[in-house]
Chains A and B, each alone.
Chain A
Amino acid sequence: MLEIDQDNMAVIDIGGVRREVSLDIMDEPVAVGDFVLCHAGFAIRKVDEVDAEERLALLREILEA
């Protein structure tokens, strides 16, 4: 997420491409720098980076065993 304006619209970067998305259906606060999941011009959820890391670590552990 690169920018957020007053109309609750945000500019996001998808692999180098800039896109405008609406934050109207988000139920959690978002900030510039967050990763968000988008669908049809709307951000639908923030991506939980902590959860992502923990799960991957756990998966690696299971696979080591």
Chain B
Amino acid sequence: MKLIDEYRDNELLVRLRERIHRQARGIGRGVTLMEVCGTHTYAIGRYGIRRILPENVRLISGPGCPVCVTSASDVGRALDMAGKKGVIFTTFGDMLKVPGPGGESLQKLRAKGADVRVVGSTIEAMRIATDNPGSEVVFMGIGFETTTPTVASMIKTCARLGVKNMSLYSVHKLVPPAIEALLADSELKVDGFLCPGHVSAIIGTRPYEMIPRKKKAAVIAGFEPVDILEGVSMILEQIITGEFTVENQYGRAVKPHGNTKAVELMEEVFMPAPSQWRGLGVIPESGLVLRPEYSSFDAIERFDVPYREYEQEEGCMCGHILRGVASPEECPLFKTSCTPHDPVGPCMVSREGTCAAHYRFS
């Protein structure tokens, strides 16, 4: 297929690999690179990228999987809403299996009779609302800057068409504040970031400028094998020369300004608020809530579901893994009591979760 085959070209991959090995020998010391995007986590596992990298180049996954970074308390709140009478609770598929307080999940709640439905898009969620005027339809909005504009678009359409039985439970998060939190974490030793391609297609290249300011490499990359290896090679080059900047490997989809309409939509409907991240704690201005003009669509207000603190699953190391300070193999539950079939923590649920990717591809 066009625009795919070129990026899986074997000869190109072999040469890229040679170049990376040469660069790594030149650097000598060990370097650690972090990606912060679930699609990268999955692609790196699927194409066996780690196996072809030199020994002194370590590639780790950060907080890039949306369901993984959702806190147990937020899952608890979703369960409270989904359990209400007359509510049709809709969300993206990955969310269903995520264990909340006491091992309860949306999937288990559904088995007990709650009306929980998986949708592939906000358009589907809205269709459910218009098809069921007698029910309250809640959409749980989860995801980063790639997904949020599609949810903003839904809210605006609901407002325009007067769809009154639809509301939003937003646990949306922003990527740059999380990177900033990671940069401030003294435990984390990262030399460069492989920045997310799809998020950047929306926000552009500027929001990453704090990374080179901290003397670390930043390269936005696509998701095919050539993209990822070229991205790694570009990061190594920045480390070699000591000239740190935000570079864009994924120019075919990422422009410096991003998608201005999507950003405007997002800013019109949402405003930043503190948000609780699994593993990273509360990060200021890293979440998104509806602006006052759209607060009538806020499911939290509509159903008055209080916030309750819940601890993360006992023994689960997701929090450490999301911060890049532990690997799944270090978790005693990995592959023993925690598997994709019966996940203990969220990092094993989504195919984009670090534990799930390691389980599947190692």
Chain A: residues with CB nearer than 8 A to chain B?
A: 15, 22, 24-27, 35, 37, 39-42, 44-45, 47-49, 51-52, 55-56, 59-60, 62-63
- In the complex, are the beta carbons of A42 and B150 less than 8 A apart? yes
List of 4 A-B pairs having minimum Cβ-Cβ separation, nearest first: A41-B121, A27-B261, A52-B252, A63-B15
Partner of A25, one of B143, B198, B230, B259: B259
Minimum CB–CB distance from B116 to chain A (whole Å) comes to 18
- In the complex, are the beta carbons of B150 and A39 less than 8 A apart? yes
- In the complex, are the beta carbons of A39 and B146 less than 8 A apart? yes
A19 to B325, CA, bound (A): 40
Closest residue to B264 on the A side, CB-wise? A27
A residues in contact with B265, CB < 8 Å: 25
Chain B: residues with CB nearer than 8 A to chain A?
A: 1-3, 6, 12, 15-16, 19, 92, 120-124, 143, 146-147, 149-150, 153, 157, 198, 201-202, 226, 230, 249, 251-255, 259-262, 265
- In the complex, are the beta carbons of A40 and B262 less than 8 A apart? no
- In the complex, are the beta carbons of A41 and B261 less than 8 A apart? no
- Known interface pairs A40-B92, A41-B121, A42-B150; A47-B252 also in contact (CB < 8 Å): yes
- Known interface pairs A22-B123, A27-B260, A44-B259; A60-B3 also in contact (CB < 8 Å): no
- Known interface pairs A25-B259, A44-B262, A56-B6; A37-B120 also in contact (CB < 8 Å): no
Closest residue to A37 on the B side, CB-wise? B253
Minimum CB–CB distance from B154 to chain A (whole Å) comes to 9
- In the complex, are the beta carbons of A24 and B16 less than 8 A apart? no
B residues in contact with A51, CB < 8 Å: 251-252
- In the complex, are the beta carbons of A59 and B252 less than 8 A apart? no
A residues in contact with B198, CB < 8 Å: 37, 39, 44
Q: List 14 A-B contacts (CB under 8 A).
A: A22-B150, A24-B157, A40-B122, A41-B150, A44-B149, A47-B3, A48-B251, A52-B252, A55-B252, A56-B6, A59-B230, A60-B12, A62-B19, A63-B12
A44 to B44, CA, bound (A): 23
- In the complex, are the beta carbons of B12 and A59 less than 8 A apart? yes
B residues in contact with A35, CB < 8 Å: 2-3
Closest residue to A35 on the B side, CB-wise? B3
- In the complex, are the beta carbons of A48 and B253 less than 8 A apart? yes
A51 to B256, CA, bound (A): 13
A63 to B92, CA, bound (A): 41
- Known interface pairs A25-B259, A40-B147; A48-B153 also in contact (CB < 8 Å): no
A63 to B234, CA, bound (A): 12
A residues in contact with B16, CB < 8 Å: 59, 63
A39 to B157, CA, bound (A): 18
B residues in contact with A62, CB < 8 Å: 19
- In the complex, are the beta carbons of A41 and B252 less than 8 A apart? no
A residues in contact with B122, CB < 8 Å: 40-41
Partner of A15, one of B1, B124, B226: B1
- Known interface pairs A15-B1, A27-B259, A40-B92; A45-B253 also in contact (CB < 8 Å): yes
B residues in contact with A56, CB < 8 Å: 6
A40 to B188, CA, bound (A): 32
A residues in contact with B92, CB < 8 Å: 40
Closest residue to A16 on the B side, CB-wise? B1
A59 to B92, CA, bound (A): 37
Minimum CB–CB distance from B127 to chain A (whole Å) comes to 11
Closest residue to A27 on the B side, CB-wise? B261
From A35, A41, A44, A49, residue with most partner B Cβ within 10 Å: A44
A residues in contact with B15, CB < 8 Å: 63
A25 to B155, CA, bound (A): 13
A60 to B6, CA, bound (A): 11
A45 to B262, CA, bound (A): 10
- In the complex, are the beta carbons of B146 and A44 less than 8 A apart? yes
Minimum CB–CB distance from A14 to chain B (whole Å) comes to 9
- In the complex, are the beta carbons of A26 and B259 less than 8 A apart? yes
- In the complex, are the beta carbons of B201 and A45 less than 8 A apart? yes
